[in-house]
Amino acid sequence: MYIKRQIHDQISNSLFKGKVLIIYGARQVGKTTLIKKVAEEIGDFSYYNCDEPDIAAALTNKTSSELINYLGPKRLIVIDEAQRVKNIGLTLKLLIDQYPTRQIIATGSSSFDLANKINEPLTGRKRIFHLHPLSMAELAAAESEFEANRLLENRLIFGLYPEVVFPKDDSEKTLREIAGSYLYKDILQQEEVRNQDVILDLLRALALQIGGEVSYNELGKLLQIDKKTVVRYLGLLEKTFVIFRIKPWHRNKRTEISKLRKIYFYDNGIRNALINNLNSLKLRNDTGALWENFMMSEILKAKSNQGEESDIHFWRTYSKQEIDYFEEKNSQITALEFKWTKNRKAKAPTAFTRLYPQAKFTVIDRENYWSAIKATTAA
């Protein structure tokens, strides 16, 4: 079953406007399916998968004439897994400069590799999109909001990778395959990753801490590596779209923390597979953490899919009063607390109300979560 992605129309509307379109995303989130659907609407296109060594070689260090002779006369050229091409930025620059009436779309499963190679050559010549695992909004548009809600608990556990939501085989087997080394393939190939086991140990440690503040020093001690290595590895995991970091919001340095971070996974299923726990909610003691991770990732995906910059935080005092989600936009502060079970008596912490009396505070549970997704992406 094909689910139309929310960035589909944005990509289609950006075609043939003199820019290379770059689509970043983790492996298996559906980049190839998406760009082929976009290309099929044009019809006159050619597709190249750079995971094939001969194709990557054919696009490496070539003149513009050699490139176009190889790529052919099609109006739309799709270069998939473009990070496999050495000096891909120069290749794309030559194509867009010499053949501006043609449209180039390039995808990459790791932003750190592709971005390093395209930023300087393609300055002013590119538009970037991010594709994430499926969002609940995308599923609701295809299935109905009722059906999306009916399967909510399943998706808290197994996540929203397309092949897991619509498996050709067993969904648990599919998830475990994605959560294996295949997902981290790009990271594990980096020369700066000297101990591949540490990456997986780091991910498991993070998986057990979702919803809690993370100390880089403590992670280093746990894994027996230095803080700089922790920071570097976290950067790689973030740039390959496995995790994302949230900073604390602070104005009052005496009462509000400013240094610790919270780390979430883009997909609950990946997190659960890492700790080998795909049990139902009634057999778990981490439902609250799962719900918080799920909601943070859904809001982040919703913002990204609408092309909105994400500037979200959490809030916490040294006395451990806290708010899960804090955002200031258009002079309005939105504060959200995520609770799986409805709690009509929940209130904002006293210290928060005193510091931010005009803030809009809402407890987000499984009954009203659609309102949070829609409200945090409203103009």
Going by C-alpha positions, the residue among 173, 187, 234, 149 that lies closest to residue 27 is: 187
Cβ contact 131:267 at 8 Å: no
Alpha helices in the chain (DSSP H): 8-13, 31-42, 53-58, 64-71, 88-98, 111-118, 136-143, 145-150, 152-158, 162-165, 171-178, 185-188, 196-207, 216-223, 227-239, 268-274, 287-305, 350-355, 369-375
Topology given in CATH for the domain delimited by 8-130: Rossmann fold (3.40.50)
Number of neighbours of residue 148 by Cβ within 10 angstroms:
19
User: Which tens digit of pLDDT belongs to each residue from 205-221?
Assistant: 999 999 888 989 999 99
Could you read off the pLDDT of 14-36 as tens digits, one per residue?
999 999 999 999 889 999 999 99
Q: What per-residue confidence (pLDDT) applies to 250?
A: 77
Task: With a cut of 70, say whether residue 258 has pLDDT above it.
Answer: no
State how far the alpha carbon of 354 is from the alpha carbons of 170, 209, 248, 255, 347, in Å.
51, 29, 18, 12, 13
pLDDT in tens, 126-146: 999 999 999 999 998 888 888
Q: What is the pLDDT of residues 318-369, one digit of tens each?
A: 888 899 999 998 888 999 999 999 887 888 999 999 999 999 999 999 999 9
17-26, 81-90, 111-120, 185-194: lowest mean pLDDT where? 185-194
Could you tell me the pTM of the whole model? Answer: 0.92
Over 80: is that where the pLDDT of 374 sits? no
Q: What number is the average pLDDT over the span 157-169? A: 91
Question: For 82-109, what is the mean pLDDT?
Answer: 90
Length of the chain (residues): 379
Has residue 279 got a pLDDT over 60? yes
251 against 275, higher pLDDT: 275
What CA–CA distance (Å, rounded) separates 60 from 87?
7
Asked whether the predicted pLDDT for residue 116 surpasses 80, the reply is: no
pLDDT digits (tens, 9 = 90+) for 174-213: 999 888 866 777 777 665 676 778 888 999 999 999 988 8
Domain ranges of the chain: 8-130, 136-379
pLDDT band at 263 (very low <50, low <70, confident <90, very high): very high
306: helix, coil or strand?
coil
Q: Which two tokens stand for residue 126?
A: 């590119």
Long-range contacts of 271-279 (CB under 8 A, 24+ apart): 271/159, 271/207, 271/210, 272/157, 272/158, 272/159, 272/207, 273/175, 273/176, 273/178, 273/179, 274/179, 274/200, 274/203, 274/204, 274/207, 275/204, 275/207, 275/208, 278/157, 278/158, 278/172, 278/175, 279/157
pLDDT at 316 over 70: yes
Q: Residue 277 burial by CB count (10 A; 0-12/13-18/19+): exposed, middle or buried? A: middle
| 3-state secondary structure (DSSP) of residue 226 | coil
User: What's the mean pLDDT when you consider all of the chain?
Assistant: 89
Evaluate if residue 379 carries a pLDDT over 50: no
**356 close to 249: Cβ distance less than 8 angstroms:** no
In the predicted model, is pLDDT for residue 314 greater than 50? yes
What is the per-residue pLDDT for 340? 94
